[in-house]
Amino acid sequence: MAKVLVTGGAGYIGSHVVKLLGRKGHQILLIRAENTRQ
């Protein structure tokens, strides 16, 4: 299967996308932003 880069994969929509792609057998690279606001 394909290699897929998912940005924002820890958010609500991204997490569902990652699960779906994983079930379909794709290799997933997940990037999430750290909250650096103070």
According to the model, what pLDDT value does residue 26 have? Answer: 97
Distances (CA, A) of 6 to 23, 37, 38: 15, 23, 26
pLDDT tens digits, 6-19: 999 888 999 999 99
pLDDT on residue 34: 78
Domain limits of the chain?
1-37
pLDDT at 36: 72
Q: What pLDDT, on a 0 to 100 scale, did the predictor assign at position 32?
A: 87
Asked if residues 12 and 32 have their Cβ atoms less than 8 Å apart, the reply is: no
Residue with tokens 């079930």: 23
Q: Please report which confidence band the pLDDT of residue 38 belongs to, taking 50, 70 and 90 as the band edges.
A: low
